[in-house]
Amino acid sequence: MGFGMRCHDLVAKGKIDDLMTKLQENKIECVQLALKKSIADVDFSVGNYSGGLAHFVDKKLKDAGVHVSVLGCYINPTNPNEEKRQAEMTRFIEHLRYAKSIGADMVGTETGRLDEDFNIVPGTYTETCYQRLLKTMRPLVAAAEKLGVIIGVEGVATHTLYSPEMMQRFLDDIDSPNVEVILDAVNLLDRNNYKEQEAVFDKAFKLYGDRITVAHIKDFKIDENGDVAFEQVGEGLLNYKHLFKLFKQYKPYITMLIENSNEARYASDCEYLQKIYDEA
What DSSP string runs through 28-84? --EEEE-HHHHBSSS---TT---HHHHHHHHHHHHHTT-EEEEEE----TT-S-HHH
Per-residue pLDDT at 1: 78
The DSSP output letter for 15 is -
8 Å CB contact between 211 and 255: no
Q: How many CB atoms lie within 10 A of CB 43?
A: 12
Give me the half-sphere count of Cα atoms (radius 13 Å) on the Cβ side of residue 89. Answer: 21
30-33/67-72 β-pairing: parallel
8 Å CB contact between 144 and 155: no
Per-residue pLDDT at 238: 99
Cα separation, 222 vs 220, whole angstroms? 7
Per-residue pLDDT at 174: 99
Ranges of the chain whose pLDDT falls below 70: none
> What fold is seen in the domain 2-265?
TIM Barrel (3.20.20)
Nearest by Cα to 90 from 46, 134, 120:
46
